[in-house]
Structure 1
């Protein structure tokens, strides 16, 4: 058992649910998935969800949910995106579009990090309230 006292399958199911809530929140706000270097930024997603990045590689439910979100967003992870446009000259507007895209991705990553930090702050404020009161306080 882990330090939180939850069994592996229970913790795994909770992680999948956290990821589902996070992806639904992004979808409703119209915010794209965080990207870094042309790929999904799994670290930012894990941070926003409040679990370890390895969950997105090991947990089959989380992996499938993320793959579904990537496919739904029309993203292709890896080098397949860059194929086919080698002969086309790069124009100034293409550079601007690329820069805008990079900035949007950085913004999405920072939003995900901000969401994770706000959630962590909320939990720590609750722990502090419990410690100060000396007894359990309702969240």
Structure 2
């Protein structure tokens, strides 16, 4: 554990982002863009933190919005590596696939936890009373036969 609070980490992340943006401005480089929007993955990678910081940290969001509003960035020149785009597209597809698998596993996990809770309750009842809990969905054959 780092021993830092979330607020301290957030302040450090904003300071790193500000230093990165200042560095871009100093050398005259535009903000990395993708499909007409700031490339959050490239920015986060350059700053050394998770890209979610750029979406969830209000100060970071404000910095990005300010830079975009002040000097809209340009698309990268055509002389960039043509292999970069397909590789990054494959990476994005893989990330999306893994996120979907994670969501499915979490949903299954929640369902299994609920089932376990119900079964533990039934087991506790049987242990305490020595009787089973009747399942209303099943017919009863122990009655008078009527």
Asked if the contact 1:34–1:41 (Cα under 8 Å) also holds between the matched residues in 2, the reply is yes
Q: Quote the Cα distance in structure 2 between the aligned partners of 1:60 and 1:105.
A: 35
Runs of 4+ in 1 over 6 A off after TM superposition: none
Asked if the contact 2:24–2:31 (Cα under 8 Å) also holds between the matched residues in 1, the reply is yes
Q: Quote the Cα distance in structure 1 between the aligned partners of 2:7 and 2:79.
A: 33
Q: Quote the Cα distance in structure 2 between the aligned partners of 1:50 and 1:22.
A: 10
Q: What's the CA shift for 1:47?
A: 0.4
Q: How many residue pairs get matched?
A: 82
Superposition TM-score, scaled by structure 2 size: 0.50
Asked if the contact 1:32–1:105 (Cα under 8 Å) also holds between the matched residues in 2, the reply is no
For 1:18-52, what per-residue CA distance to the aligned partner results, in whole angstroms no more than 9, with x for missing partners?
A: 00000000001000000112211000000000000
Q: Quote the Cα distance in structure 1 between the aligned partners of 2:35 and 2:79.
A: 10
Residue segments in structure 2 that go unaligned for 5+ positions in a row: 85-146
Q: Quote the Cα distance in structure 2 between the aligned partners of 1:43 and 1:72.
A: 21
Superposition TM-score, scaled by structure 1 size: 0.53
Q: What's the CA shift for 1:5?
A: 2.1
Residue segments in structure 1 that go unaligned for 5+ positions in a row: 77-100, 111-139
RMSD: 2.4
CA 1:105–1:11: 2 relative to 1, 3 Å: farther
CA 1:61–1:32: 2 relative to 1, 3 Å: same
